[in-house]
Structure 1
Amino acid sequence: MAAVRRATADDGARVARIYVESWNAGFGELMPVAVLDDARVARWSATVADGNWWVAELDGLVAGFVGIGASRDPVDPELGELDTIAVDPAYWRRGVGIALMEKAVQELAGRFDRAILWTLANYPQGQNFYVKTGWTLTTHTRDNGHQVCYERSF
């Protein structure tokens, strides 16, 4: 079972790699290819150090990460948002995503009454995961319908 802990800036390089690899493997032809470079590593190192990010370790390695916060779209400090959840493709379907989602939901529930997340409209793998973990598809879209919104109450 994956062990989840708070992320630190030292996790930035591994988080950036997971982000790029999971993006490219998961979104395939739906999105442009993401590239791992020094700027992306620096951004993730700063981002995960803010206290709202967690990593899951399995087999002694960081295998995935998740982040939460107040909603950015719509901007609403009373509404939570699952910012990003990503798992190294080598660890897909090994419980890492579930462990990360459980941590994210626990943290969101401690701060908000409701939360949302945004994902691609034509992304059944992610959408099935969100439904399986208790999220409900809403009628809200953005980016000309290319992204859909899920919500969850606590």
Structure 2
Amino acid sequence: MTLLLRPAGEHDLAGVGDLHYRSRASAYAGIVSPAALTFGSPAAMGEWWTERWTWERETHRLTVALEDDRLAGFTYLGPSEDDGIAELSAIHADPAYVGRGVGRAMMIDALAALTRYGDRAVLWVLEENARARRFYERGGWVADGESRVEPIGDEPVHQVRYAISLSGAGR
């Protein structure tokens, strides 16, 4: 597999929304209700990403992963709400690419990019998403004891925060 990672452009946002919708449905099945997972649509998610990108493009980084011009995944990162701390806000692989190294390649790229925002990074993950938690833990992320409840669709879900030191990250 030859994977190309590049900065996203406006022309990528509809595809990012579609992939995000499908990735979320696949990754959160059995954790979040089907009604919450089907909330909205791929097109609505594309519109959401377009709006978000309009406001955050100067402070955040959206990267797409492509295999033969097919969108295989994306990452979204930037500063967190806490000064001097970076945040990996999203890392999603197309369900067809899960387990094929796309997530690992995107994480390596994201860790290197996160150093621009601080010497520590955080991310939030669904508390019950054991597969994602194992992925982050294998990459050196550690649950730091913080938690929150955020909605997916209209359903509140519990999330835990993971953190990683960025000194030497991505090298």
Letter in 2 for 1:44: W
Letter in 2 for 1:66: T
Unaligned runs of 5+ in 1: none
Per-residue deviation, 1:37: 4.5
Partner of 1:36: 41
The separation in 1 between residues aligned to 2:43 and 2:128, in whole angstroms, is 30
Which of 70, 76, 99 is the matching residue for 2:79? 70
Partner of 1:139: 145
Give the TM-score normalised by structure 1: 0.90
SS in 1 for 2:161: strand
Identity of aligned residues (%): 32
Per-residue deviation, 1:101: 0.7
Give the TM-score normalised by structure 2: 0.81
Q: Say if 2:31 is the partner of 1:19.
A: no
Partner of 2:113: 107
CA RMSD across the alignment:
1.8
The separation in 1 between residues aligned to 2:65 and 2:118, in whole angstroms, is 23
The separation in 2 between residues aligned to 1:147 and 1:36, in whole angstroms, is 23
Unaligned runs of 5+ in 2: 150-155, 167-171
Per-residue deviation, 1:146: 1.4
Describe the shift of the 1:48–1:56 C-alpha distance in structure 2 as closer, same or farther (beyond 3 A): farther
Runs of 4+ in 1 over 6 A off after TM superposition: none
